[in-house]
Amino acid sequence: MSTNPLLEMQSYGQSIWMDNLTREVIETGELNQLIENRGLRGLTSNPAIFEKAINNSDRYDQAIQSGHQQEKSSQEIYESLVFEDIRKACDIFRPIYEESNGLDGYVSIEVSPHLAHDIKGTIAEAIRFYEAIEKENVMIKVPGTLEGFAAIEQLISRGINVNVTLLFSVDNYRQAAWAYIRGLEARVKNNQPIDNIASVASFFLSRIDTKVDKRIEQRIRELGTESLNKSMRLRELKGDVAVANAKIAYQTFKEITASSRWKALEEKGAKFQRLLWASTSTKDPDYSDVKYVNELVGEHTINTLPPTTLEACADHCDLSPNRIETDVDEAYQLFESLKHPDIKINMDEVLDELLEEGIEKFVNPYDSLLESIENQAKQLTPS
């Protein structure tokens, strides 16, 4: 067995992807090294990642200046920059895509976060991105909103790989899974192949614990010191909700993939829509920095790690097969306990809030980046 936990992961049925993409990691060869030495099998990106990449590097300056001279809008310049990075990353991951028969080797790019509640706009932009990038191993990220689910079904039916992002609730994950299945069924009905299409369902983790932990602390303050037993009971829940939620989602995945509708598609070559653990960097310093890696190893899953968590896991992850299947009854009991009058945490409300906040966390850097590109273009272009 390898001494690098990241290289063990694949033998446990889980793939490691990285939640980061910059021109620097492509051009310096760092991405190739991560594939070779860290077992990297795929890559995701989002507007926040590109904002940091473009604003913190001069590697994009020439392209920004050229785009401005060609009188391109800031959005057109942005797309030209990220499309180039995505294409190059897709080429680097192409051998993994081919070796795994289309299971891994994907690079994800997100549609504009402004389209999160726009079905037609999401479909149109996803198709445009897919056709412009022209890489079989690109995945288009679509948020897990009510409108997003309708778009996902249509995109899968058109043969476009989809990464369903910003999933927080198990109910929303279930809708994403059935949208994928309906899209595949539409292709079967039209006598189109389904063995060359992939999708992942990105289930967010650390943001759940951050928000729930704050509510627990607020509830403890409301109870006061006279209710010490209740306070202690509440503190025992801190840091456990996100993993419990993921374990319940995994049981839902097993339930769906055991259904007759899925089995009929699987016989025709359909690939699992794998659960992808996202938001895996630990926000609370009191928790292990590899908390959302160690506890969520499972077959037919992906863990997408930011660079710092990737390196932390390479150094000190403690892995064992199918840990996602442990303490499942306790996970269900934990969610029941949140409804108790002493605790009173409405998880439906929490998860709905997280979805809308998640969209906003991509809208703000997206808008900021377009403004920054416009300002950079003016500064770089001689008057």
Question: Residue 301 is encoded by which pair of tokens?
Answer: 């899953």
**Bridge partners, 142 (sequence order):** 164
Q: Where does the chain show beta strands of DSSP type E?
A: 14-19, 40-44, 107-110, 138-143, 162-167, 199-204, 274-278, 301-305
Domain boundaries, position 273: 5-380
Query: DSSP character for 104?
Result: S
Angle CA 318–255–247, to nearest 5: 30
Q: Following DSSP, what letter does each residue of 326-369 receive, concatenated?
A: TTHHHHHHHHHHTTSTTT---HHHHHHHHHHHHHHHHHHHHHHH
Q: Convert the pLDDT of each residue in 19-49 to its tens digit.
A: 999 999 999 999 999 999 999 999 999 988 9
In the block, tokens 């998880």 appear at 347
Q: Convert the pLDDT of each residue in 245-304 to its tens digit.
A: 999 999 999 999 999 999 999 999 999 999 999 999 999 999 999 999 999 999 999 999
> What CATH number corresponds to the domain at position 175?
3.20.20.70
Residue 220: the pLDDT is: 83
Question: Residue 99 is encoded by which pair of tokens?
Answer: 């070796």
141 in active site: yes
Residue partners of 59: CB distance under 8 A and separation at least 6:
23, 24, 27
In the block, tokens 């403004």 appear at 371
Q: Convert the pLDDT of each residue in 176-190 to its tens digit.
A: 999 999 999 999 999
Residues, the chain, total? Answer: 383
Number of domains in the chain: 1
Burial of 82 (0-12, 13-18, 19+ CB in 10 A): buried
The CA distance from 38 to 41, in Å, is 9
Q: Convert the pLDDT of each residue in 134-160 to its tens digit.
A: 999 999 999 999 999 999 999 999 999
Mean pLDDT, the chain, rounded, equals: 94
State whether residue 323 is helix, strand or coil: helix
**Which residue of the set 135, 141, 211, 271 is catalytic?**
141
Burial of 216-240, coded b for 16+ CB within 10 Å and e otherwise, reads: beebbeebeeeeeebbebbeebbbb
